[in-house]
Structure formats: structure tokens, C-alpha cells
Amino acid sequence: MKILICNDDGIRAEGIRVLAESLAMRPEHEVYVVAPERERSATGHSLTLHKPLRVEAVAPPGNVKGAWMTTGTPSDCVKLAVMEILSSPPELVISGINHGSNLGGEVLYSGTVAGAMEGAFLDIPSIAVSQLTDNKMVMHYATAAEVIQRLLEVYPKAHLSKRSLLNVNVPNLPFSELKGTRITELGVRLYDDRFEKRVDPRGRSYYWLAGEALDADEAENSDAWAVMKGFVSITPISFNMTDRKTMEKLTHLPELRTMVDHRNHDAVHHQHAYKDVNKEH
């Protein structure tokens, strides 16, 4: 299988190295890496439009066939790799292993998930994988790499919907200590966001965004609940964020259907004007 790996932690991050080396050890895998030259966390699905993108080949780790770093975002990396760098499209895009979780609403900001979503946009099966940190000094990236190895064995049977991906979050534990796997939905994953106002040496104010995740009140079928309990969370995600319940409600509001109907609007306006004139007399 021809696999493209990207991330948002940068080409030199340990997570992407461990994942690439692990997958490339299997003779059935042909692995390529295209990643940002520096950390691009929380860039969401942004693309570089107003300046040129530069690409530089780097020494590939282990048995990886080729590796490149770019000045772009994770989405740029995947688009460039598929359309320009690789001689033929990959059969699978994997984004990660991210340093830290991508749970609940975090997926909207995540460069890791965006990299996988770009693959999905291009009709390529895609996976995003993230490892919790839990403020521990040791990161068990080998655990997440082994999870992905085993997931690839069953992935062809998943038959995902068109332009969807799997968002995988792995507890920061040795593989033997994982409690199992849960198929989950996105949780809430709120933050107690706050800005710290500071002053630079020249007396000018600046702001630094800070805050911690609030893990309370997560449903038991959510990704956040699963990983906090020691389970690997696998969440299918689609870019189509249509709220279908509200869509159904809105279709039954006649005012919305006719609010830009000029004839109807003019008739109503004329009716109101006529009533106002009659009141004056």
C-alpha cells in the first residue's frame, strides 16, 4: 500500500518519525512523508494563497521511500504531495502522530485533522491519529503506531462514506495497558479559554491565549470519555457539517421561503402602507 504521512507538529517531530518508521518496516507498505518545516498546530484547514510554497527533500527515516518538508500548512502538504511531489497518488493518507489529543470541537482547529481531511477531499482514504499527553514526560508513540498498524489490517472492511475520515485518539499508555477500542462520536471538549495580557520591552501590550480543557460532562459514547478511561477512540468524521434537524425545521417556516420573493414582499409592503394611510384618515 502506498501511504502518505503528514502532520502539524513539523517534519522533525518524534510522532511522525515513529509512525513512518513503523509503517515502513512492513514490506507491503511504500511510505512517503511530506510535512511542514515547523510546527503548524491549530492552523485548521488553511491553505497558503498569498505567498509561494517551497519544498525541500530531507533524509527519509528508516525504510521510508522519500521525505520532504514544505513551508506550508498540513493541508498544503497533502495537496502538494498528491498533485506535484509524488509520481502517483497515495492509496492512503495518515496525519500524525500528533503530540496531544484532537477530541470533540478541537477537530475544527486541528491541523492534524485538516491534513487527513484534505486527503478525504481528494477522494483518498484518510486517517488522523493523535496521542494524549496527560502532562507526562514520556510519550508512548509506539502505542499509537501499533494501533494504526492493526487498524490498517481491518480498514478495507470499513467502507467509509465518500470524503470522510477516521479520527483516532490514543491514550498515552504502553500498548499492554490499553483497555480496548471504542467507536465514538465527537464530544464537546470545551476550554476555559482566557487571554493573558502582557507588555513587551517597548511598552506595547500583547495577548497570549491560554486555557485548559474541561473534561467534565462528556457522554459515554464520546471520544473524550473513551480516551480518558483508557480506550482508543475511533470517530468517523465527514466535512459535511449540515445540521439536518434544524434544516428540517427551517423548511417548515414559510417566512424563510418567501423572504426574498419580491412580488410577495412588495404586496405585503403595499398592504401595510395602505393600512397606515387609512389610519391617518
Cell triple for 273 = 402602507
Give the pLDDT of residue 277.
54
According to CATH, the topology of domain 2-241 is Stationary-phase Survival Protein Sure Homolog; Chain: A, (3.40.1210)
The torsion angle over the Cα atoms of residues 184, 186, 188 and 194, rounded to 10 degrees, is: 130
Give the pLDDT of residue 104.
92
Lowest-confidence range among 130-134, 191-195, 243-247, 261-265? 261-265
Q: What is the pTM of this model?
A: 0.87
Q: Are 55 and 77 in contact (CB under 8 A)?
A: no
Question: Does residue 105 surpass a pLDDT of 70?
Answer: yes
Give the pLDDT of residue 149.
97
Cell triple for 19 = 509512525
Tell me the residue type at 71: T
Region at 264 (left for phi over 0; alpha for psi -120 to 50; beta for the rest): alpha
Give the pLDDT of residue 265.
59
Label residue 267 by pLDDT band (50, 70, 90): low
Region at 234 (left for phi over 0; alpha for psi -120 to 50; beta for the rest): beta
Give the pLDDT of residue 275.
59
Mutual angle of helices 14-24 and 141-154, in 10-degree steps: 40
Q: Tens digits of per-residue pLDDT, 211-225?
A: 776 666 788 999 999
Residue percentage of the chain with pLDDT more than 90: 69
Cell triple for 130 = 493523535
Question: Does residue 161 surpass a pLDDT of 90?
Answer: no
- Cα separation of 25 and 59, whole Å? 17
Label residue 128 by pLDDT band (50, 70, 90): very high
Give the pLDDT of residue 22.
97
- Cα separation of 189 and 261, whole Å? 42
Give the pLDDT of residue 64.
97
Question: Does residue 82 surpass a pLDDT of 90?
Answer: yes
Give the pLDDT of residue 27.
95
For the chain, the average pLDDT equals 90
| 269-275: average pLDDT | 58
Q: Where are the domains of the chain?
A: 2-241, 247-280
Question: Does residue 245 surpass a pLDDT of 60?
Answer: yes
Q: Tens digits of per-residue pLDDT, 32-44?
A: 999 999 999 988 8
Q: Classify burial at 217, counting beta carbons within 10 Å of its beta carbon; exposed 0-12, middle 13-18, buried 19 or more.
A: exposed
Question: Does residue 268 surpass a pLDDT of 60?
Answer: no
